[in-house]
Amino acid sequence: MPPSDDPDRLSEDDGRILRLESASIAGHTLKLLILEPGDGALDIEALRGAVGERLDSTPRATHRVDTCGPEPRWVPAEDFDIRRHVRRHSDPQCDSKADLWRIVGGLMSEHLDRSRPLWTFDVIGPLADGREAIAARIHHAMADGIAGVQFLDRVLFDARAAARDRAAGTVPGLHEAPRPTPLTEALRLPGAVLRELGHAGGRSP
């Protein structure tokens, strides 16, 4: 099908994904990042700030789907709040890898809120060994396949943004050389490993 002349209207494929969602079918993918142990728990406010600074690179990250008209379309989420999308998952039992898989399985089956932009980053842990994880959920209607990985690359691992931060010298309280960005310090890179969580016997959608 030729692309729509209306850039804010969902494509037929994206609209179909939304229509196929049900109590047992979720339309998002989930990527899991494992973070190596650091001096303490990941700074959620630093993570929110760094991600928020990069969202302009993906306008759909601050848009929601409006289904009130004849066709679903993207509209700005006027009440966008980064705290609803980058958050620490609260679970009293999160010590082992089995606990991590249990929590991630629950997030995988939990539908994204269509009244908000269709993505979330949930910080999980620390586990008993000090590692933490980020479960990144992205709806296929927002960014499908490789586009989802590119979204993560732009907002979590954008080297160009890191270079601009270093050149501008706008990050207070950090050492002069080398000067990490708030995000690289929060994630303790390069210890973070990006991989897609697969169900037993298959891949996540």
Taking only the tens place, the pLDDT of each residue in 163-173 is: 445 445 443 33
- Which among 28, 139, 140, 199 is annotated as catalytic? 140
Q: How many helices (H) and strands (E) does the chain have?
A: 6, 7
Per the structure, the complete domain to which residue 21 belongs is given by 12-196
What single-letter DSSP state applies at residue 2? P
State residue 197's pLDDT score: 31
Task: List the CATH number of the domain containing 99.
Answer: 3.30.559.10
Domain contains 203: no
- Domain-located, residue 25: yes
- CA–CA gap between residue 86 and residue 89 (Å, rounded): 10
- Asked if residue 202 belongs to a domain, the reply is no
In the chain, the number of structural domains is 1
Separation CA 98–CA 141 (nearest Å): 30
In a domain, 153, yes or no: yes
Q: Using one digit for the tens of pLDDT, what is the confidence trace for 32-87?
A: 888 877 777 888 888 888 889 889 888 889 999 888 877 888 889 999 999 999 99
**Is 139 tagged catalytic?**
no
Q: Is residue 6 part of a domain?
A: no
